[in-house]
Structure 1
Amino acid sequence: MTEFETIDGQLAVGGVPVERLAERVGSTPFFAYDRALLTARVGLLRAAMPADLQLSYAIKANPMPAVVQHMSGLVDSLDVASALEMRTALDTPTPPARVSFAGPGKTDTELRQAVAAGVTIELESENEAVRIARTGAALGVRPRVAVRVNPDFSVKGSGMRMGGGPQQFGVDAEKVPALLKTLAGTDLDVLGFHCFAGSQNLRAEIIQEAQQRTVELLLRLASEAHAPVRYLNLGGGFGIPYTSKDRPLNLTAIGENLAGLLRDEVRPRLPEARVVIELGRFLVGEAGVYVTRVIDRKESRGRTYLVVDGGLHHQLAASGNFGQVIRRNYPIAVANRIDAEPAEPVTVVGCLCTPLDLLGDEVTLPGADVGDLVVLYQAGAYGLTASPTAFLSHPAPAEVLL
């Protein structure tokens, strides 16, 4: 887990102690993201990866405009999954050609916006290709596209599998050659390929194998292309530790593997290709915290409860209701007593009228009472925008970047 600074016995984000930060924000709960940690994370990744490998930030992980602006100065490109994310990306200095738009079910309006903007659209189906070609003709603009490939293999150990077998994502690998022949007869600028097989993987050897197989697949498909391949997106899937049992990913091993693949396989055959890995959670997840205030402390038949003013409507993943099969506690602390020794087991629950609103189940924390600030770590990715914020109509939390 990324280390945040401590000041006067308190957690600090961006150099601001949490109690002062809560006064600055004006209310709890809120999300806080640390610029320095974001910058350091990208630097760590750059140091481990080959120099000619480019880095794309997947905005879906955290689309807060200030975060996207900051990340745009650190990465080579941005990936979006909706028209609003695209507008956020286009508000940064990132050139439109370095913005990619992926995801199934793009509407005609979204495609018109994307073609007009000049972003790279990652094709998810044969039908989408037809619609993009029609849109380009109507606008008098030659669309930039890449074929998203649904690989003929799956990746074990991923939090979510997004490739292999039947999928709503991408074009089945065996159908891509026929699609390429069709595309050759259209006025689409076909740049290359995108393949994303899975997410949140902490096993370097599995990621290495997936990258090896992805490169082999995309090189095979590149031989069917009717123009030089200028873009290869190898996906991402790099995980971060969320619980005490998780171990950080071995970046060195992954970087060495990618360096060999680029040197021995990709560069000799596709010298013009811009090779990209696309990461979201890995870049921003550990640089954010969710801060919520204790509003009640109660005992119920031998169990102590801390009731906070936040909950699963802001941090669905931490409650165990966002893909976990067996619920495990996310890292949690009493933020304004960060140096105090653990003193008692407590159960931290949110303010919603459901037993699912559980943020910490029998966690050992320093003695806490009404008014104290509880913090959930690993909250920089898939927090606010991946949670049911309208549930029970509580106010939306603030977000701050420091």
Structure 2
Amino acid sequence: MTAPSVDAFGRVGGRLAVGGVPVDRLADRVGSTPFFAYDRELVSTRVAAVRTALPEGIHLSYAVKANPMPALLAHMSGLVDGLDVASSGELRHALDTPFGPDRISFAGPGKTEAELAQAVAAGVMVELESATELRRVREIGERAGLRPVVALRVNPDFAVRGSGMRLGGGPQQFGVDAERVPSVLAELGDLDFRGFHVFAGSQNLSAESLAEAQRRTVELVRGLSDHVPGPLRYLNLGGGFGIPYAARDTPLDLDAVGGNLATLMEDGIRPHHPDARVVVELGRYLVGEAGIYVTRVVDRKESRGTTFLVVDGGLHHQLAASGNFGQAIRRNYPIAVADRIEEPRDETVDVVGCLCTPLDLLGKGVELPHAGPGDLVCVFQAGAYGLTASPTAFLGHPAPVEVLV
């Protein structure tokens, strides 16, 4: 049994296909393995589903950190309302898209003075993570003769149940503690302050938990807005929409999330903040299920009762699938033999990479069709936090190619 999104990919002659192209042919086109392949139609379909579920008046932003591939960003720029970046490198890529700077925000802790200066010069919104960042941005604006556009990221006084990674509540490197927000706002000076960004947790499959977090976020912002000079013009509710990685995971009820947001817009946001640009910011949920990681079997070996398929890829490209990117308990990502996608899964194997560490494990006890050297193994759910979230320099293997099909 596999995660539901696996069936979203096509089949051509018993082989897995991405964007209608069989994976073995795609491998020939790329010229080498391993590689990442992203299906542009699956991305478009997911964005359309989110837009249908979200109520009128909510803007959809893409979190570039999930996958900053330039071709993907160009495609995404025709689908979403804005981009959120977390480094100067991502900022450069975002500015290369058709989006103007007024559609780009820059969040994340530890922004250097050089990065802040780049953001101010570009005219993008800086989402301040501390009082120190506020002072630096103010000084940069004064030196440059510019009025920086800013928002304040808030570390809420609550956590989100069921999140794979907690980004709010308790002590955090992210944002300004909610109780400190009034004193930080008092230092704004002449900055062009737009509003707040509250993001409490990621990778959540519970619509109920997300709804609770969104309700509490709106309540929190209502109180904080009393300390804002002028009307609130920006409210980023974060995201945190999760995707299934294992068979036991239940996909997020997107309609339930959208229904809760509709109620919040009507009862909690518009009556108090009629001028606010309300944003839901998603990354993984938009692109995660649209990508696969393709790697080739280079050896098949038996060791004391276990069959190993040794592939030419590994955790240096797809750290998350190895279980070393935030998983408390390692679980296999969906995995298949791409050129034998419809054959019976009649043996149990471990799929391991080419690195000199036992951590380089892409699949443990996986049921697959019989495979050997030359066969293509693909790891699903690879569209987000894949290549750029992995230690690509480890052992000096070549970097994989990425293709948007």
TM-score (norm 2): 0.98
Match of 2:227 in 1: 224
Q: Which amino acid aligns with 2:193?
A: V
Q: Look up the SS of the partner of 2:271 in the other structure.
A: helix
Matches within 5 A, 1:129-168: 129-168=134-173
Match of 1:71 in 2: 76
Find the aligned partners of 1:389 and 1:320 in 2 and give their Cα distance.
16
- Note the C-alpha offset of 1:325: 1.2
Matches within 5 A, 1:1-400: 1-2=4-5, 3-183=8-188, 186-400=189-403
**Percentage identity across aligned positions?**
69
- Note the C-alpha offset of 1:265: 1.0
Q: Which amino acid aligns with 2:241?
A: F
- Note the C-alpha offset of 1:27: 0.1
Q: Look up the SS of the partner of 2:75 in the other structure.
A: helix
Q: Look up the SS of the partner of 2:193 in the other structure.
A: strand
Find the aligned partners of 1:136 and 1:15 in 2 and give their Cα distance.
50
Q: Which amino acid aligns with 1:308?
A: V
TM-score (norm 1): 0.99
Find the aligned partners of 1:52 and 1:7 in 2 and give their Cα distance.
41
Q: Which amino acid aligns with 2:172?
A: Q
Q: Which amino acid aligns with 1:154?
A: A
Q: Which amino acid aligns with 2:174?
A: F
Find the aligned partners of 1:140 and 1:93 in 2 and give their Cα distance.
26
Q: Look up the SS of the partner of 2:187 in the other structure.
A: helix
Q: Which amino acid aligns with 2:396?
A: S
Find the aligned partners of 1:358 and 1:213 in 2 and give their Cα distance.
40
- Note the C-alpha offset of 1:238: 0.4
- Note the C-alpha offset of 1:105: 0.7
Q: Which amino acid aligns with 1:8?
A: G
Q: Look up the SS of the partner of 2:278 in the other structure.
A: strand
Consecutive unaligned residues of structure 2, counting only runs of 5 or more, are: none
Residue by residue over 1:172-206, the C-alpha shift from the partner in whole angstroms, topping out at 9 and shown as x without a partner, is 100111212221xx110000000110000001100
Question: How many positions carry a matched residue from both structures?
Answer: 400
- Note the C-alpha offset of 1:223: 1.8
Q: Look up the SS of the partner of 1:229 in the other structure.
A: coil
Find the aligned partners of 1:340 and 1:47 in 2 and give their Cα distance.
36
Q: Which amino acid aligns with 1:107?
A: T
- Note the C-alpha offset of 1:334: 0.2
Find the aligned partners of 2:385 and 2:210 in 1 and give their Cα distance.
21
- Note the C-alpha offset of 1:98: 1.0
Find the aligned partners of 1:295 and 1:266 in 2 and give their Cα distance.
56
Over aligned residue pairs, what C-alpha RMSD do you find?
Answer: 0.6
